[in-house]
Amino acid sequence: MIDPQILREDPEQIRASLRARGGDEAHVDKAIAADTARREAISAYEALRAEQNAFGKEVAGASGERKQELLAQVKELSARVKLASSAVDDAEREASEILGALPNIVLQGVPSGGEENFVTLTEVGDIPSFEGEIKDHLDLGEALDILDMERGAKVSGSRFYFLKGAGALMEMALMNLGMKLALDNGFTPLITPTLVKPEIMQGTGFLGEHSAEVYHLDDDDLYLTGTSEVALAGFHSDEIIDISSGPLRYAGLSTCYRREAGSYGKDTKGIIRVHQFQKLEMFSYVEPSQAEAEHEAMLSWQEQMLQSLGLSYRVIDVAAGDLGSSAARKYDIEAWIPSQGAYRELTSTSNCTTFQSRRLNVRYRADKDSGTQPVATLNGTLATTRWLVALWETHQQPDGSVAIPEALQPYMGGLSVLSSS
């Protein structure tokens, strides 16, 4: 949720953010009206409560006929207080719904526009060249007997798969390499729940425009998470946390689930776009003034991972209209996929400022004498199943084998090459 103080004092900032996102600026006026109605309802209720309290004292000091008159007035006043309390509840609910639908305010410098309006910040590594035919990751995986899409579909349906043998081992190696990097940089590892309550999913901002992507268990009213970011954001909900010694960092490992409802006909071949995958997610709670520095740090750790794996990639500043509701700025890292002759997203990192913490009520104290205030939250992926696509294709050899990057070899049980022999 956005800071209501900004809505009251600088609504133009929110309008400008919505323009950059391609959103409807009229929503700001609705939010202002709802916030005003809420505050007026609270003021009216508090005035009646004060009158009721004063009346109570007068009744206590009265006697006889006067007391009976006052008691009748007290009864009428109590009914008005009850109605005013109900009006506050209604106004609070409407304001929460309308303000909650406003996306985060984009940071200065974020490019305006939609998906195609990103800005490339850097390109790293040479585009790999190959002798002879370039095989895609599915052909490589099937030939090496490390990926089985056919049996995945037989067991679970389309966009499911089995990683097998050295393929499964390489996915685990990726997670282990990422976790080592996380540990080296002060992250606490967590194995997170993959089912969460509606208020946690709502609090992270995943039940807005992308709610169709989320699996829901109707009988239990629980959601399957598409990223451990959701559970990590909820980890400290309704808490006052101590970040006086610096950012509070977690590395969450989990299985992730996505319906891919809006991707019919896209990436139907292989494991670029699937319903279930593994992911290692960084998540930081920081003072708002440190959020942008923490964002740059997360990006540097992601780049460190990709460079250690010998992948060519570019970093893009995602346009405002493609940020999703929670992020104020997001960087995507796209790796070169040889079979497609194009960059494809492998990972991203988002600065959500105080948007999620306001919704989930995560607060901190700047010092012992001050009140509490919302903390900033950031997230970024350190490894995920999709990375296998870039790894297998980039490191394929003329004989059909795949060279294993040195950084992964300590986790591969002595293997240095994926081969069919």
Q: What residues act catalytically? A: 258, 273, 345, 348, 386
CA quadruple 410, 414, 416, 421: dihedral positive or negative? negative
CB neighbours (10 Å) of residue 93? 12
Chain position carrying tokens 């990590």: 232
Helix (H, G, I), strand (E, B) or coil at 66: helix
User: Which of 356, 106, 383 lies closest to 232, judged by CA?
Assistant: 356
Contact 87, 93 (CB under 8 A): no
Chain position carrying tokens 């294993």: 404
CA angle 220, 223, 228 (to 5 degrees): 140
Pairing of strands 313-317, 119-124: antiparallel
Chain position carrying tokens 């319903």: 275
What does the alpha-carbon distance between residue 178 and residue 309 come to, in Å, rounded to a whole number? 11
What does the alpha-carbon distance between residue 110 and residue 119 come to, in Å, rounded to a whole number? 9
Distances in whole angstroms, Cα of residue 357 to Cα of each of 208, 249, 251, 286 = 17, 15, 18, 11
With a CB cutoff of 8 Å and minimum separation 6, the contacts of 352 are 104, 205, 326, 327, 328, 376, 377, 378, 379
